[in-house]
């Protein structure tokens, strides 16, 4: 990886403007090469395997809020209660206090 990054640096040497030190520029190119390799190696899952995991009740899959097709009254009630508590707390923060008038 380091060798590939240095080859890229050598090929792009004419583009070095001198806004930073040469070592900083080289380090940034090496880091970008490493990040690119990490992105390419990132494990992925097919959507079908995620659908199967959800159907089987696999708790390792975390769904986005509101994705469940069948509404759950307990979850809806809990979500509404949390929303009410948060809205009340925000209103209290925004309300001018009596001592500041």
Q: Is residue 82 part of a domain?
A: no
Rounded to whole angstroms, the Cα distance separating 73 from 6 reads: 59
Q: Is residue 31 part of a domain?
A: yes
Q: Is residue 74 part of a domain?
A: no
pLDDT band (50, 70, 90) for residue 71? low
pLDDT tens for residues 12-33?
A: 888 888 888 888 888 888 888 8
Helix (H) or strand (E) holding 82: helix 73-94
Buried b (16+ CB within 10 A) or exposed e, 4-18: ebeeebeeeeeeeee
Total count of domains within the chain: 1
Whole-structure pTM value? 0.39
Q: Is residue 36 part of a domain?
A: yes
Its domain, for residue 37, covers 2-41
- Write the burial class of residue 83 (CB in 10 Å: 0-12 exposed, 13-18 middle, 19+ buried): exposed
pLDDT confidence of residue 55: 74
Q: Is residue 14 part of a domain?
A: yes
Q: Is residue 81 part of a domain?
A: no
């Amino acid at each position: 990886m380091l060798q590939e990054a240095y080859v890229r640096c050598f090929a792009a040497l004419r583009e070095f403007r001198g806004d930073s030190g040469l070592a900083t520029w080289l380090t940034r190119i090496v880091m970008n090469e490493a990040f690119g390799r990490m992105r390419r190696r990132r494990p992925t899952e097919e959507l079908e395997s995620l659908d199967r995991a959800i159907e089987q009740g696999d708790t390792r899959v975390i769904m986005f809020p509101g994705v469940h097709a069948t509404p759950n009254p307990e979850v809806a009630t809990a979500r509404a209660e949390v929303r009410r508590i948060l809205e009340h707390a925000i209103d209290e923060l925004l309300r001018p206090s009596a001592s500041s008038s």
